[in-house]
Amino acid sequence: MKAKQMKDLVDIYHRDADLIRLVVDNLNIHTPAALYEVFAPQEARRIVQKLEFHYTPKRASWLNQVEIELSVLSRQCLERRIPDIQTLSSEVATWEKQRNLQRTSVYWRFQTTDARRKMERLYPTV
């Protein structure tokens, strides 16, 4: 998320929020310091005071699971025009309930053996 997008979160999308929690990766633009590089110090501080940064682990396979699940949600539930927020909320809740009842989980196609073969130079010989 770029500095301008963080400013928009604070000033446009969630201007009434006391605090906005961001879950971000460890990219160098996802830090409070990035705001100080783009905005005047007073403006950067104002924005930073409304943000709480939560960083994902550097090797976060759970983040991949979230991306996969959001992709499934998009394909199974959201690939059509949804007229209003109430319908959207209802549709997503129904989809989520069904997924949970089915105890659906992420199937990892990329196994450790695949990783060792594909990235042989990074793994020690066992």
For the segment 32-58, what is each residue's pLDDT rounded down to a tens digit?
999 999 999 999 999 999 999 888 766
If we measure between CA atoms, which residue out of 14, 13, 7, 18 comes closest to residue 45?
7
pLDDT at 110: 65
Which stretch of DSSP H or E encloses residue 22? strand 20-24
pLDDT at 67: 82
- Cβ proximity of 25 and 61 under 8 Å: no
Check residues 46 and 113 and name the one with the higher pLDDT.
46
End-to-end CA distance of the chain: 40
> With 80 as the cut, is the pLDDT of residue 28 above it?
no
Q: What is the mean pLDDT of residues 109-117?
A: 72
pTM of this prediction exceeds 0.75: no
Report the interhelical angle of 85-101 vs 61-77 (nearest 10°): 120
